[in-house]
Amino acid sequence: MTKVNRERALVLAKLAGDLDLVSLRQELLKISGNDCQLKRHTWQGEAQILNNWLKDIKQPAPYTIFVKGNGKLPFYNFSTLPLVTCPGKGECATYCYSLKAWRYPGSLCRQIQNTILILTQSVQLKNAWHNLPQGINFRLYVDGDFDSTKTVDYWFKLCAQRKDINVYGYSKSWQELLDFKGNYPKNYTLNLSSGHNHQPDLEKKVKTLSITRGEFIALPVEKAVVGKYDTPKYKQNLKKSAQAAGIKKYFACPGKCGTCTKKVHACGSTRFDKIPILIGIH
């Protein structure tokens, strides 16, 4: 049974990020082989499905572009490949939780597909956006980030075209956001993600943007309490890390989006404007 380890997944990710589709197809063929009867949800089967689409990326995308959500994240959302679409990445690359999704062939293949769709500014992506339900909360980038100012421009124009959608996200692509020359959409809320590679002067500038809510900071906690957000031990760990970082006032992320308060979710609300939101590195 063929499996794709992280090293091999990174090769696929880089080829997709470079839009080297010829080489990407060759690598996928090495995984799938020439068997025409491969099963879904296996590396061989998903590699074959993705490869067939890459023959002509104008044909319908094989994976759902926007994911409706789950118990941890109930909102519609969009992801691309982590690392290769993250120009602002810094120390976060050493603990990036998004790479854990690469254990699942469908997740990696969807990220590859979506990366290609956004880099080529596909009409399919635009059409899927306009077909989303009215008045939803939407997380832009669970995995990945704005790869360029061109992509920032693309998304912000889409946001402006769907003012009914409440869009929020976490980003380290601060230079790309600052270089954007258009009007920042009023329905997009930016959380400044920690673990970046930027200097303090750039951070000061991006904090002044009209779309910026505040910081979302991942802090170290003991391995034994990772993900145990409701436990006293986790909360003690987070408080200790906050004190070490000089953070006195903060809001602790409960781990499940949409459960912050009874009325709003903190990362997308002006109610929590300028208040750091903290979570343990997971």
- The string of pLDDT tens digits covering residues 20-69 is 999 999 999 999 987 777 788 899 999 999 999 999 999 999 999 999 98
Among 153, 140, 257, 245, residue whose Cα is nearest residue 190: 140
Domain assignment of residue 92, yes or no = yes
Under DSSP, is residue 125 helix (H, G, I), strand (E, B) or coil? Answer: helix
12 and 108 within one domain: no
pTM: 0.93
Torsion of CA 122, 124, 128, 131, to 10 degrees: 120
145 and 24 within one domain: no
230 and 177 within one domain: yes
Q: Tokens 């690359």 appear where?
A: 93
For residues 131 and 79, give the distance between their C-alpha atoms in angstroms, rounded to a whole number: 17
93 and 207 within one domain: yes
138 and 171 within one domain: yes
Mean pLDDT of 112-128: 98
For residues 185 and 167, give the distance between their C-alpha atoms in angstroms, rounded to a whole number: 9
Cβ distance 98 to 144 under 8 Å?
yes
For residues 278 and 274, give the distance between their C-alpha atoms in angstroms, rounded to a whole number: 12
Q: 215: domain range?
A: 76-280
144 and 24 within one domain: no
Beta strands in 12-119 (DSSP E): 76-78
- The string of pLDDT tens digits covering residues 225-235 is 999 999 999 99
Domain assignment of residue 118, yes or no = yes
- How many domains does the structure of the chain reveal? 2
- The string of pLDDT tens digits covering residues 79-102 is 999 999 999 999 988 888 899 999
